Amino acid sequence: MHHRRHQALGIAAGAIADAVFADPQRGHPVALFGSAVAASERRLHADSTPRGAVFAAGWIGAGSLVGLVAGVVGAAGTAAAAFTALGGTSLCRIGDQIADTLDAGDIDGARALVAGLVGRDTTTLDEAGICRAAVESIAENTSDAAVAPLVWGAAAGAGGMLGYRAANTLDAMVGYRSARFQRFGWAAARLDDAANLVPARLTAVLVAAASGRPADTWRTVIRDAGAHPSPNAGVVEAAFAGALGISVGGRTVYAHGVEDRPALGDGPAPLAADLRAAVRLSRRVQWASAALAVGVRSYSGRYLP
């Protein structure tokens, strides 16, 4: 019981630290982890699904082990793990910066900012394209960078949070459908999909509640989410679209080719005001999920670790 209370206190402290300080600009543990993954990938890469599965499992196991050790340290270790795993505040700050830059008429500056959020080619995007990219990223990363780490923290403490962050980082690095990673990155992508199944749907529930538009949110999720190629991104993007009364999706240009994404939502394409509304909604969802995680970790039954 005391162990779970310490972990709950640590999760709360880590969430508050993320809200106050956001991600450090230099020496972020996730960036250091990513550098180590990249170096080992260059040495160990092969066009092999089993080899990629061992690679992914090894790094996720390493992240989980570091988290378990942090959890044993106590509330301070769990707080450090939560602060490392959470990235929602930086996400929202960039969203606001993009909206400010657009309102100032600096479309090139907005393109440069949104390029830091998304993997698509942003060099020719207009205001609607920039805002669409930013809203889609805020929706997906509200789940990936805030709700999901907290869900895993509620379920498995510090080990769950850092194991999840390792899986999500691996997916971002090798989970592409490019020629290099079609096979090697397959396991990383599937593990990330599995890790986000529950968090994405919880995010949609929280979006429906926090927006005050539950009927519009759920109608859009039920009708549109399944058309998206991702089993999780479609759910949260459709939820945000329905909640905000906008539409997202459409032609998306990546370095590896063009994808025609399905349209999600009924409204117009988002503009700067809609991007600001998405940021406000994301912040409400993040605080709600933090409160839930702390409550679950504090008062859950004896079967949680």
Of 165, 198, 158, 202, give the one whose Cα is nearest residue 4.
Answer: 158
Q: Are 89 and 189 in contact (CB under 8 A)?
A: no
H or E element, residue 76:
helix 75-85
Q: Tell me the HSE value of 234 on the side-chain side, using a 13 A CA sphere.
A: 16
DSSP string, 157-203: HHHHHHHHHHHHHHHHHH---STTTTTTTHHHHHHHHHHHHHHHHHH
Assess if residue 125 is contained within a domain. yes
114-133: average pLDDT = 88
Give the model's confidence band at 255: pLDDT under 50 very low, under 70 low, under 90 confident, else very high: low
What one-letter code names the amino acid at 157?
A: G
Length of the chain: 305
Assess if residue 302 is contained within a domain. no
Cβ neighbours of residue 176 under 8 Å, at least 6 residues apart?
185, 189, 256
- Report pLDDT for 261: 84
Tokens describing residue 89: 């505040």
Residue 305 scores a pLDDT above 80: no
Assess if residue 303 is contained within a domain. no
87-114: average pLDDT = 96
Torsion from C-alpha of 7, 198, 36, 34, nearest 10 degrees: -100
Please tell me the pTM assigned to this model. Answer: 0.93
- Burial status of residue 124 (CB atoms within 10 A of its CB: 0-12, 13-18, 19 or more): exposed
Number of neighbouring beta carbons within 10 Å of residue 217: 24
Assess if residue 304 is contained within a domain. no
For residue 105, give the 3-state DSSP assignment.
coil
**Axis crossing angle, helix 2-21 with helix 88-103, rounded to the nearest 10:** 20
Assess if residue 305 is contained within a domain. no
Which domain, by its residues, includes 176?
2-296
184-199: average pLDDT = 96
Q: Tell me phi and psi for residue 182, to 5 degrees.
A: -55, -45
Assess if residue 301 is contained within a domain. no
Instruction: Give the number of domains in the chain.
Output: 1
Assess if residue 84 is contained within a domain. yes
Give the model's confidence band at 303: pLDDT under 50 very low, under 70 low, under 90 confident, else very high: very low
Assess if residue 158 is contained within a domain. yes
70-80: average pLDDT = 94
Residue 4 scores a pLDDT above 90: no
